[in-house]
């Protein structure tokens, strides 16, 4: 079975500050890991993914995440927050064999103040 834990249902930062959203996963098989963003009243947009290879992955809008197997973590970072980054962020895991269902965390709402 797979699961995802996102620490902090809300994270508040000032514009220009570092963004750090935490994600820990549990998986009995090698995982694929994802971060999705959801703006109000919209569907999910893929920010970035880890499948194989380099453990530091870069995504859209200046976000990046690092897969740390020893810590079972996949934290999302961005050096400098913009007002447009305010949204809900979901970490997700899937297995890398067979059919791939996404298991999501409960989400972290990022609030950006001027």
Among 44, 62, 77, 86, binds another protein (CB under 8 A): 44
Does 26 participate in binding another protein (rule CB under 8 A)?
no
Which of 76, 4, 90 is CA-nearest to residue 45? 90
Does 104 participate in binding another protein (rule CB under 8 A)?
yes
- CB-count burial class (<10 Å; 0-12, 13-18, 19+) for 72: middle
Does 114 participate in binding another protein (rule CB under 8 A)?
no
Cβ of residue 77: shortest distance to another protein, in angstroms?
Answer: 20
Spatial CB neighbours of 27, under 8 Å, sequence gap ≥ 6: 2, 72, 93, 95
Binding residues for another protein, rule: CB under 8 A, are 4, 32, 36, 41-46, 49, 51-52, 90, 92, 96-107
């Amino acid at each position: 079975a797979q699961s995802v834990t996102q620490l902090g249902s809300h994270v508040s930062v000032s514009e220009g500050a570092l963004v750090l959203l935490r994600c820990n996963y549990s998986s009995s098989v090698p995982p694929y890991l994802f971060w999705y963003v959801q703006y109000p009243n919209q569907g999910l947009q893929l920010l970035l993914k880890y499948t194989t290879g380099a453990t530091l992955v870069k995504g859209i809008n200046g976000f990046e995440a690092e897969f740390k197997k020893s810590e079972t973590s996949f934290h999302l970072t961005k050096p400098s927050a913009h007002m447009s980054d305010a949204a809900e962020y979901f970490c997700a895991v899937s297995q890398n064999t067979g059919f791939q269902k996404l298991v999501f965390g409960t989400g972290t709402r990022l609030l950006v103040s001027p």
